[in-house]
Amino acid sequence: MPYYVSKMIGKGTEEDPYRTPVANYSVNWVMVGQTDKGCLVYVPNPTPEMEVDKDIKALPKDLNTTFTRQDWNRLVTNLHSQNIDISPSDYDPARTVREVIIIIGQLLEPTFDINHFSAS
């Protein structure tokens, strides 16, 4: 499952609305976000160009994978660069990617439900 984090771009005007940089690509996407905290984006059909965009950070694709301490620290650094605040001290070797996506989603929108977060 292709999930990403990014900062929000735009000025919040009709001509330049707030959005994820994913909107610059011809892909289907859905996001949850806050202008001051970044966003979580689901993209079922990412492009190779989007995958290498420095403003869009990919989360591990296997939702059942857990994190090593090194992977967790790298994730926290990537999240902080996108204004999403998770602490290195939150590390739990049993926590899966799916659980982290839920945590990120609920930081951005308390009613976030991964089971209803899809784009077609």
C-alpha closest to that of 117 among 97, 95, 102, 100: 102
C-alpha closest to that of 82 among 1, 17, 2, 3: 3
On the question of pLDDT at 93 being above 70, the answer is: yes
Place of tokens 């005007």: 13
Average pLDDT, the chain: 92
User: Per-residue pLDDT tens for 19-61?
Assistant: 999 999 999 999 999 888 899 999 999 999 999 999 999 999 9
Q: What percent of the chain lies above the pLDDT cut of 70? A: 98
Rounded average pLDDT over 110-115: 93
Q: Which two tokens stand for residue 97?
A: 């990617």
pTM of the model: 0.89
Confidence of residue 120 (pLDDT cuts 50, 70, 90): low
Helix (H), strand (E) at residue 75: helix 69-81
CA pair distance 29, 22, nearest whole angstrom: 8
